[in-house]
């Protein structure tokens, strides 16, 4: 295993902090990925999840996807996230949904899943692989935790070509954009890790819709802030608006997209 650099640790911590910030929560709600729970449901169907399946949700965020999968397909789900706050919120959500016997959440690092063995029937990772500094390590771990023939399913941002300066900073990286791969890049990553039958489906409309929704919310928040209805960090909102505008342009030009990738171990 390669030594983790300080920069890698900072990126992970920064990403975890970002997704537990009030601003992101108020903008994104309970699901932190394009396509929302509808796309999670589709992912579960594509992986043909069943009642006896044991599923690992890597970078599970606030736990909404794990809970949906357990409720819809009856499977057991273990959700792992780097962020302490995400894990405690997800646990609370599982408790509120009376699903604590089916869904558990633990803190952990996608690039080092040493506490998890190769017996899982399926693993998912929604809109998070793009933020991991060491993607080959994370995908190797996804492969290792699965039983032979187990299925993996991710949804994530795709990036083709260089990004404009507005989307090249840390904010864009933790927002799943800056360090995303091309469709071919993901295909190669999974094939190289030993996965077979790698299938990719385009869901770029999901990221287009999410950016539109976010633009409306940020605009409303800025209006409310400027008229004094409530107090928000207006600097953050302006920066968010600029980032969204730049992302919209890249999506329109076909440089940014969203995919579902499934494969077998
Ligand atoms: C865009 S959010 C997606 C969350 C969830 N999958 C969803 O779709 O709602 C990215 C999540 O990845 C988590 N994360 C980032 N780096 C991680 C790592 N190395 N291991 C585990 N989780 C990580 C963050 O804490 C954050 O909750």
SS3 at position 256: strand
The pLDDT value recorded for residue 24 is 78
Task: Indicate which residue's Cα is closest to atom 3 of ligand 1.
Answer: 32
Distance 174 CA to ligand 1 centre (A): 9
The pLDDT value recorded for residue 234 is 52
Q: Kind of pairing, strands 256-264 and 196-202?
A: antiparallel
Buried b (16+ CB within 10 A) or exposed e, 43-76: bbeebebeeebbbbbbbbbbbbbbbbbbeebebb
Fold classification of 6-203+255-264 is Rossmann fold (3.40.50)
Residue 11 CA, closest ligand 1 atom number: 16
Closest CA relative to residue 237, chosen from 213, 216, 221 = 221
- Ligand 1: residues within 6 Å at CB? 12, 15-16, 19, 31-33, 59-61, 65, 80-83, 86, 109-111, 126-128, 131-132, 176
Distance 227 CA to ligand 1 centre (A): 34
Per-residue pLDDT of the chain (265 residues; tens, 9 = 90+): 456 788 888 888 878 887 887 777 778 888 889 999 999 999 999 999 999 999 999 999 999 999 999 999 999 999 999 999 999 999 999 999 999 899 999 999 999 999 998 999 999 999 999 999 999 999 999 999 999 999 999 999 999 988 888 887 777 777 788 789 999 999 999 999 999 999 999 999 999 999 999 899 888 878 877 776 666 555 577 888 888 899 999 999 999 999 999 999 9
The pLDDT value recorded for residue 231 is 60
Helix axes 36-46, 64-73, angle to 10 degrees: 50
The pLDDT value recorded for residue 159 is 94
Q: Which two tokens stand for residue 189?
A: 């990553």
pTM above 0.85, yes or no: yes
The pLDDT value recorded for residue 141 is 98
């Amino acid at each position: 295993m390669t030594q983790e650099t300080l920069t890698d640790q900072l990126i992970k911590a920064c990403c975890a902090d970002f997704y537990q910030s009030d601003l992101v929560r108020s903008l994104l709600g309970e699901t932190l990925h394009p396509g929302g729970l509808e796309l999670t449901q589709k992912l579960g169907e594509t992986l043909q999840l069943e009642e006896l399946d044991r599923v690992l949700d890597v970078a599970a965020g606030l736990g909404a996807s794990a809970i949906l999968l357990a409720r819809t397909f009856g499977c057991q789900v273990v959700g792992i996230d780097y962020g302490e706050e995400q894990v405690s919120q997800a646990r609370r959500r599982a408790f509120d949904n009376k699903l604590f016997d089916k869904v558990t959440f633990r803190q952990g690092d996608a690039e080092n899943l040493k506490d998890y063995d190769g017996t899982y029937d399926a693993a998912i990772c929604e809109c998070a692989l793009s933020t991991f500094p060491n993607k080959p390590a994370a995908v190797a771990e996804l492969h290792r935790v699965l039983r032979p023939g187990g299925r993996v399913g991710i949804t994530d941002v795709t990036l083709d070509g260089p990004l404009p300066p507005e989307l090249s900073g840390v904010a864009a990286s933790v927002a799943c954009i800056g360090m995303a791969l091309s469709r071919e890049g993901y295909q190669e990553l999974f094939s190289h890790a030993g996965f077979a039958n790698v299938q990719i489906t385009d869901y770029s409309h999901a990221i287009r819709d999410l950016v539109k929704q976010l633009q409306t919310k940020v605009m409303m928040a800025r209006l409310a802030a400027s008229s004094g209805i409530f107090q928000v960090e207006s600097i953050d909102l302006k920066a968010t608006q600029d980032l969204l505008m730049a992302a919209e342009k890249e999506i329109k030009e076909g440089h940014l997209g969203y995919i579902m990738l499934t494969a077998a171990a």
